[in-house]
Structure 1
């Protein structure tokens, strides 16, 4: 039994470190964008000062020419602000796109480097959600929320400084906003991160349930599990609804309290400034300028608070994306080179769930060029042992070696030159048939590609396609049957040219006569290679040098076909049952 575990999520320190690294990689873009934002904010500060001076001039008596000059200056500063803001936003979005592209590349690289066992344990839903909705959310945050928040912070700081330049007395009304702002932000930030992480995790669970139901649709239908799967989907949706309701509750309490805090400084400035004006301590122009500056503070602060919600979502998405890089590697590359192609398993134990081994001290030595058939009842541990022999999983205890070097001590590129696993699973990528085949050997020419297809008896149908090897296959292209797709996977294997092959039901999707024919076609390719074939069809066991019977996580019997039949044990019973039905 396998338990689904979610992939790691980076903590706040890791997120901040990544943001610092981004800033360090792009200093010119960062500082030029920030400089343009500062200049745009400074030009915006001219209007309140000019209007305040105009009010003061009107009170004292002025001319139409003076008013006209003020209007022209206002227009000039407004135009300058517009131009600077345009280029500041452009610079910010250019940097945002660049950073997002780098993050995507890093994410793809880390995802492709994930241990296969980790991906299987986490399930497809979590990874798909990070690849899809988390990337989309972070994209919005980087393109829009981050530049807007930068503008808001710069504008707010400069506007506050300009307000204080009118007179120190402006500081007192501004203090009125601090208690509700601080209290509201502390309350919200203490709850928002966990809330949004739970919300995005609920999306992962919904995706997992849907993908598992779709992928196993035939099994669901055959076993009458439709109602159960629907119920599971309903439960996931209810959990997601509860998570979204919680974050909505946070927003409906947080934002109204913020609106109140914005109004307090404006009202306070008018009242306090009016009182000072009545005492003769300040001029009417100063009260006007101060009030306009404090009024200007509302927009950037409100924008910052509003975007804070999106930044929280973006930060949660970034933490999930960075978390993929925190998955520990299951390989410990030592640099040792195998001295031979001999494959050995020594006292191998393995567990999908801690404390519940599915392999119990397995020993198996595989000679160079030997063919071993691995048979046994379903759930006995055949596929698990095959995956360990192929280096997919590291053993919990014991060693699996090739040439006396542990499989998990070899880099993946080197490992696949020694041993490769071929399973029932296969995938046809979008692209030409040639592109699908040369994935295993990019430098292969058409002659080698056709030879690989011929080796798996696929050259006739492949060359008969409308454009031959240049025919586009996969989603949106030419549809290949399950048997053809499996032949493509096997042809890739021929091109990869590993010495040892672990075949886990590799011909299961082809009908028995075709499978037999395919295995005969592969015989010449497999000549001289080590082959470990995991199968329920016992004709492959009959042809093998030795047969390993796996039962309850151990190799219960090991020997040639004739010896095991003569022994009258488990294998003899399996052979009699299968041969009798044949």
Structure 2
């Protein structure tokens, strides 16, 4: 996986625009959060003011009752500040967690809409890391960063107002510390984003190597590639460690500047307070209040700067997520719906190769599948059959030539109008069997589900399951054989009821004893549809209305089973070899 092939990363403007879209229609809720947090921060000023007032009361020989009244005011204000701040933080968390939920939905939707060719080009690890690691980082930033950012920002603003209310000259502390904080922030915001983006990209590379080794575990063991795979994973892991260390060093530099700013601020308050008290312009209590206000700023200011750590990391991850959302190729704005019923499927001089420098896989392939016709494609391994199926399903786009469904270019069709591809790689989702079947037809009734299962020859064994259609299957549930999994896929297809279907060796994994049952089910599922079948078994091809023979990326024969056998060409050779193998 090279850097120039990874999925897109959104720029700052696009990311900000997306965030605004997430919060659209929630402006009043956001205004309410701002008001509550501002009120909580304002009440928080009463406590340092109260201590200063107590100092002045003691110096002026005030009464115990005066001290008590001040203490009661401090207690009430502290309680009110805690309640309002807690409420504001809770409401802000609810607001942004709702936005996070929408972000997850958009991410999943965009990931599913990405062309398979785009995912393969970028590497599955890149997409998986964005859907897992990056979403987790954004979630952590919202859970920890947003409450701290909300609380700290309002505390800093209100405390600055408190300094001015005591004596405008106390604002000198702001003049002294702001340049230090500004320099610290500038350094952090300049250095941190590329460091965190690098860390996220390193995690993606590590995930790519780990997933590759896990998914190809049998191949890794068969060819003795364990050591080489471990080296790649090791290199990827050390890449993450290096970037993580850079992130920690960046944080430590920020901490040093924070401590220096705190020292300067306290020294400034002491000097300004001494001069004002000495000149009779302020009381000792006012100077005490000013110092307490500044001490009160330690946590909020540090929080504002330290929260930049998860915020920056979250922003880097968010830009990667928004990049996927923007990279997803959804249906075109003027997507065409061509109605129900079987449709004509046609390619005209289609040529294709996987990469610019790769060999040509398909050479000007032209085929026509008439409405309701089933056409089988056979040929030796590497002839281009699976590539043709992927092109017809819209997974890849041809280098030249056109693909049409009815009279509409495949690229102009709405997603749910495109041919449906069924492959030999069948997945059964964890949960009740009926929920698995309803994935393609959420409103299907139990009777409709049963009819689909009966049509593909699966109802007999489904009825014998412990809980029938409610039996939990998939991971941790009732185990299904490969044939039964493929029957479930065929039943899903019938419930979806697409007009055009592409079978890419969809019955190839069945045992010999199950082959006839599964082929009967496939035949039933294709009834009344326009279908192109990449046939693994020639017995399945023999059932088709017509057969295309592919070799070297070209159609070399076209005709019915009987006609091709009599012709004595490539199909006759394949049939003869198949017959000897079966006999």
Pick one of 386, 405, 422 that aligns with 1:383: 386
How far did residue 573 of structure 1 move?
Answer: 4.8
Unaligned runs of 5+ in 1: none
| Partners of 2:228 and 2:558 in 1: CA distance | 42
Aligned residues: 579
* Kept after mapping to 1: 8 A contact 2:457/2:521: yes
Check whether the contact 1:175–1:265 (CA below 8 A) recurs between aligned residues.
Answer: no
Using the TM superposition, name which of 426-435 and 517-526 deviates more: 517-526
Query: Counterpart in 2 of 1:352?
Result: 354
In structure 2, C-alpha distance between the alignment counterparts of 1:254 and 1:572, rounded to whole Å? 76
Partner of 2:404: 401
Given the superposition, is the C-alpha separation of residues 504 and 3 from structure 1 closer, same or farther in structure 2, using an over 3 Å criterion? farther
Contact 1:93 1:144 in 2 (8 A): no
In the other structure, the counterpart of 1:140 is 140
1:517-553 CA-to-partner distances (Å, cap 9, x unmatched) read 4213443553444332213433334444443333343
Change (3 A) 1:61 1:448: closer
Counterpart for residue 413 of structure 1: 416
Give structure 2 stretches of 5+ with no counterpart.
Answer: none
What SS does structure 1 have at the residue aligned with 2:509? coil
Q: Give the match for residue 283 of structure 1.
A: 283
1:265 alignment partner in structure 2 = 265
Q: TM-score, normalised by structure 2?
A: 0.91
Relative distance call for 1:109 and 1:331 in structure 2 (3 A) is: closer
Partner of 1:439: 439
Q: What is the alpha-carbon distance in structure 1 between the residues aligned to residue 442 and residue 40 of structure 2?
A: 52
Deviation of 1:331 (Å):
4.3
Tell me if the contact between 1:340 and 1:402 (Cα under 8 Å) persists in the aligned partners: no
Following superposition, the deviation at residue 506 of structure 1 comes to 0.7
Please give the residue correspondences for 1:508-523 in structure 2 after superposition, counting only pairs within 5 Å.
508-523=508-523
Deviation at 1:486, TM superposition (A): 1.2
Cα separation, 1, equivalents of 2:435 and 2:281:
81
CA distance 1:447–1:56, shift in 2 (3 Å): closer
1:29-178 paired onto structure 2 within 5 Å? 29-178=29-178
- Indicate the SS of the match to 2:514: helix
Matches within 5 A, 1:97-496: 97-329=97-329, 331-332=331-332, 333-335=334-336, 337=338, 341-354=343-356, 356=358, 357-415=360-418, 419-496=419-496
- TM-superposed CA distance for 1:437, in Å, is 1.8
Query: Hey, what's the Cα distance between the residues in 2 that align with 1:502 and 1:78?
Result: 69
Whole-angstrom distance in 1 between the partners of 2:247 and 2:410: 47
| Cα distance change on mapping 1:221 and 1:272 into 2, 3 Å | same
Deviations 1:488-541 (A, max 9, x none): 001211232333332111111111342234213443553444332213433334
Secondary structure in 2 matching 1:464: coil
Deviation at 1:237, TM superposition (A): 0.8
Q: Any idea what the Cα deviations from partners look like across 1:8-42, whole Å, max 9, x if unmatched?
A: 22221122223333444212321222111111111
Change (3 A) 1:64 1:469: closer
Deviation, structure 1 residue 424: 0.9
Greater CA drift, 92-101 or 247-256? 92-101
Alignment check: 8 A CA contact 1:265 1:294 kept: yes
User: Cα–Cα, structure 1 residues 79 and 496, in superposed 2: closer, same or farther, change >3 Å?
Assistant: closer
> What is the alpha-carbon distance in structure 2 between the residues aligned to residue 199 and residue 48 of structure 1?
42
Structure-2 separation of matches of 1:306 and 1:277: 35
Cross-structure match for 2:537: 537
For 2:90 and 2:481, the matched residues in 1 are separated by: 49
Residue range with higher mean Cα deviation, 518-527 or 475-484: 518-527
8 Å CA contact retained: 2:337, 2:417:
no
- Please state how far the C-alpha of 1:149 moved relative to its aligned partner: 0.6
What do you get for the CA RMSD once the two structures are aligned?
2.7
Moved more, 146-155 or 385-394: 385-394
Q: Give the Cα separation in 1 of the matches to 2:379 and 2:501.
A: 19
Within 1, Cα distance between the matches of 2:34 and 2:61?
Answer: 41
Deviation at 1:262, TM superposition (A): 1.9
TM-score by length of 1: 0.91
Report if aligned partners of 1:33, 1:92 keep a CA contact under 8 Å in 2: yes
- Change in Cα spacing, 1:87 to 1:501, as seen in structure 2 (3 Å) is closer
- 2:420 and 2:502 in contact (8 A); partners too: yes
